[in-house]
Structure 1
């Protein structure tokens, strides 16, 4: 089976599952960054050196008995696929924009359900990414640690006794660990509490980004909360801090949703129904409006206002309505106006099929 099947389906299999507090936490991600000893970091590596890194790392997970539950891994070289397929992999959060656009001999290793994405020759030689549905930060960390140990048993990492793991970017030096939760926080936005909450988050060593990480905009009331500090804390301390803060944000969002229902039920119901109606019948829809109205519908379903599409359908639409996937689905290059028409059509078709 072709590896391009990973770009044919919008929804990764792991996203069909449910985790703790999945009505608020869409997904959990843990990523560790590593580099090989005695080989220049990717930015300075020659073509031969980056090719050596690819060959050494891509062979590590073959025939590993401990990985049977994850299924076989498939290696996709980025220089062997079309630009559109790279864009779809970015939209599915399986690779970073940096790997898609700037890497030399870059590749990604994906397991069957796409819950593990291992990037090679990105900003660092190796980036292990583990994804879980809902709020499962400790589970994601356990899996990332297992994979990290397997690689470390086969290759020598660049490591300093004082600084820890050495990385291309100083902000990753130390543990090399980035843990994050993707949170849907519409009630905190509607009740105008979000600025206060996110300001408090920044005071405890965490940062807030958009759905595609650093430099991206938070759209559709989706916020990525992750650790900012990798040096001076242990992995356990980083995970525990994010876990504790995320639980508090979840509680604030739940309280805000209860407040909306008790104090503004008619208005929130009207907002949800308007968005559902527009999504069901609109002929043109830009990406920002689609994200916002899909957020309204998701909230309406979670609050019991609307017997609407399940979360798996909403997750799928969040990917399917992105520019790359739209063009992949309809098999043609689309300008912005054409994408807006096709996006509206795709949403109408999905809603008309009912709540499958």
Structure 2
């Protein structure tokens, strides 16, 4: 995939819906925080030191390509347009924090988009691997291979007592942050989501919005991740998160079953109204789109709607976003009315693209 396609093609591997428990879990991601010895953390480093970090990573890109058998690109954040930076956030490749001070920040991304490495975000390196469905083992294995290669070539900050040294104390130890993106309309509609939110901190988990820390929950999509890494090994972190997510999956499916049993007519009306609006509307706002898409996806997962594939939902999580649409039009100054019209058009075309053809 070319650099241009990175900003104009919404697809990423986590969208394909092939993973386990894909009716509830959209994706699984593993992120490793790493820093170089003898170089201050990014928030304390000067521009020369930040530049040195970026140069060191560019030198070992061929080594990383040998692991995944895929080429990598290194995109300097300060050379991207404002819209391109925001599209990368909407595609879950970088964070909001990564674009605040773009000079000497960069993104290393594999051609298949399964691997992305943020350079000079909160830490020198944030190694990220993302897959479809509930499967933390595969991204952890890939991230660990990349980490091992980097450590074999460069000196990583590590302390025998505290483990990997990171800019945020909550990442000390393994430096591992595992997260799972889940779609929980059943728990939201039955007003049980509060129990999940309240219980999560007691289990050492954080529950956040679609784009992670500091973002709102829209479209009934949540990101669930481990809060602490110090004092736990990688397997313990993975097992704890997986166990909690499996419990949430069970409750979500029970909530959907209850809706189908006791509120079938009301649910059917909401699902088909949402589908009708998205299929025919000529103007749709960003938050309205995700709210309606959530209902349509619930209709697909409960077999109410059989004429469109579930993959339409995950693709539209990117292709219906405001900055993605502005970038496609190469116009940052589109009016709200123009954006909402483009969004409605994109949704109509995507639903048609993923229409299920029956023989």
TM-score (norm 1): 0.95
Q: Distance in 2 between matches of 1:230 and 1:301?
A: 37
CA RMSD of aligned residues (A): 1.6
Q: CA deviation at 1:332?
A: 1.9
Structure 2 counterpart of 1:336:
336
Q: Is contact 1:209–1:225 with CA below 8 Å preserved after alignment?
A: yes
Once structures 1 and 2 are overlaid, which stretch shifts more, 174-183 or 59-68?
Answer: 59-68
Structure 1 counterpart of 2:128:
129
SS in 2 for 1:4: helix
Q: Is contact 1:103–1:122 with CA below 8 Å preserved after alignment?
A: no
SS in 2 for 1:207: strand
User: How many pairs were matched up?
Assistant: 355
Once structures 1 and 2 are overlaid, which stretch shifts more, 28-37 or 325-334?
Answer: 325-334
Q: Tell me, yes or no, if structure 1 residue 260 matches structure 2 residue 256.
A: no
Structure 2 counterpart of 1:6:
6
Q: CA deviation at 1:65?
A: 7.2
Structure 1 counterpart of 2:145:
146
Deviation per CA, 1:143-179: give whole Å up to 9, x if none.
1111111111111111122211111122222221110
Can you give the 5+ residue segments of structure 2 that lack an aligned partner in the other structure? Answer: none
Q: Is contact 2:17–2:310 with CA below 8 Å preserved after alignment?
A: no
Q: Distance in 1 between matches of 2:208 and 2:95?
A: 14
Q: CA deviation at 1:22?
A: 0.6
Deviation per CA, 1:92-135: give whole Å up to 9, x if none.
00111111222431111111110110111111100100000000
Q: Is contact 1:182–1:222 with CA below 8 Å preserved after alignment?
A: yes
Structure 1 counterpart of 2:104:
105
Q: Is contact 2:117–2:127 with CA below 8 Å preserved after alignment?
A: yes
Once structures 1 and 2 are overlaid, which stretch shifts more, 334-343 or 105-114?
Answer: 334-343
Q: CA deviation at 1:257?
A: 1.1
Q: CA deviation at 1:86?
A: 0.8
Structure 2 counterpart of 1:42:
42
Structure 1 counterpart of 2:291:
292
Q: Distance in 2 between matches of 1:25 and 1:14?
A: 10
How do 1:279-318 and structure 2 match up within 5 A? 279-318=278-317
Can you give the 5+ residue segments of structure 1 that lack an aligned partner in the other structure? Answer: none
Deviation per CA, 1:198-222: give whole Å up to 9, x if none.
2112211001000111000111000
- Structure 2 CA distance for partners of 1:31 and 1:282, relative to 1, 3 Å: same
TM-score (norm 2): 0.95
Q: Tell me, yes or no, if structure 1 residue 191 matches structure 2 residue 190.
A: yes
Deviation per CA, 1:218-277: give whole Å up to 9, x if none.
110000000001112111111110011011101111111111111111111111000001
Q: Which runs of 4 or more aligned residues in structure 1 lie more than 3 Å from their structure 2 counterparts after TM superposition?
A: 63-66
Q: Is contact 1:89–1:95 with CA below 8 Å preserved after alignment?
A: yes
SS in 1 for 2:179: strand
- Structure 2 CA distance for partners of 1:354 and 1:75, relative to 1, 3 Å: closer
Q: Is contact 1:104–1:121 with CA below 8 Å preserved after alignment?
A: no
Q: Distance in 2 between matches of 1:267 and 1:259?
A: 12
Structure 2 counterpart of 1:350:
350
Q: Distance in 1 between matches of 2:330 and 2:99?
A: 20
